[in-house]
Amino acid sequence: MRAEPMIAPTGVPTLKDYGRILLSGWVLILVAGLLSAAVAWLATSLVEPSYTAAARVFVTAPGSPSPKNSLDGNRGSLVRVESYVQLATGEQVLRRVIASQDLPIEPAELKQDITVVPSPGSALIEITVVNSDAEVARDVANSVAVNLIQLVREIDLGADGPASELTLVDAATTPGSPTGPVRTSNALLGACMGVVLASVLVLARGISRDSIDHRDQIEQLLEHSMGEKR
């Protein structure tokens, strides 16, 4: 027994109908996309730019250079890295940074601009600072690194001296260009949103109009048929 082919119900739009509706409203879609892109570009231009600076600190464990001690030292450094990451954005380090840089903010506010992450599988700690001033971002990143090194020397002591040593291996430099906001990507995103929204409105209006036209045609056919019977 052969299956009968499915026939789309009368009045249901097909893909061809959708394409025809979108094509008929291409001017509106284009204008909406351009206007949305322009608005996104303007809004991004009014936002204050931000700069990112980064400093890196290396963690080592002092001791004799024998292979076993070196291996144990490397393991100990990796274990301590996570603790030092927490210290970098802790109250003591942040207050020292604020005092050294004469910043008119509280530690909680400064912490929001600082990101401290360990490099996977290594004893490197990266300190990243975002600020609207490029030089402030550089100075704060270096200050966090220096004060973290000093704090570890003060509190992480073993029987024979410091359990770990932190070294500033990459000092932060002044960023040459802002890292955000990105006007081009925001304008493209705005254009896409404008096109999508306009397309939905054009489709909704077109489908509604076609449905009304189709209902009117059926009513006219019924009236014509009833007239012939009379």
Residues in the chain: 230
Residue 67 lies inside a defined structural domain of this protein: yes
Q: Does residue 153 form part of some domain?
A: yes
Mean pLDDT of 130-143: 95
Residue 186 neighbours by CB distance under 10 Å: 19
The DSSP call for residue 132 is S
> Taking a C-beta distance cutoff of 8 angstroms, is the pair 130, 113 a contact?
yes
- Which domain range does residue 150 map to? 51-170
Domain count, the chain: 1
Write down the pTM of the prediction: 0.63
How many alpha carbons fall within 13 Å on the CB side of residue 193? 12
Per the CB < 8 A criterion, the answer to whether 114 and 128 are in contact is yes
Q: Would residue 86 count as lying in a domain?
A: yes
Weakest mean pLDDT among 52-56, 110-114, 139-143, 201-205? 201-205
pLDDT band at 66, cuts 50/70/90?
very low
Q: Is the pLDDT of residue 100 over 80?
A: yes
Question: How does pLDDT run across 169-216, given as a tens digit for each residue?
Answer: 999 999 988 887 767 887 888 889 989 998 889 888 887 776 545 555
Question: Per mean pLDDT, which of 69-83, 180-194, 213-227 is the most reliable?
Answer: 180-194
Question: Residue 104, preceding bond cis, omega within 30 degrees?
Answer: no
Q: Which residue has the higher pLDDT, 23 or 99?
A: 99
**For the chain, first and last CA: distance in Å?**
44
Residue 159 is assigned to a structural domain of this protein: yes
Specify if 105 maps to a domain.
Answer: yes
Rounded-to-integer distance, Cα 78 and Cα 76, Å? 5
Classify residue 57: in a domain, yes or no: yes
Residue for token digits 């204008």? 31
Q: How far apart are CA 37 and CA 184, in angstroms?
A: 9
In a domain, 6, yes or no: no
CB 21 within 8 A of CB 202: yes
pLDDT of residue 65: 47
Cα 44 to chain centroid distance, Å, stands at 15
pLDDT digits (tens, 9 = 90+) for 14-63: 788 788 888 888 888 899 889 988 888 787 777 778 999 999 999 886 54
Residue 42 counted as domain residue: no
Residues 6+ apart with CB under 8 A from 21: 13, 202, 203, 206, 207, 210
Task: Supply the CATH number for residue 97's domain.
Answer: 3.30.70.1130
- The whole-number pLDDT of residue 185 equals 80
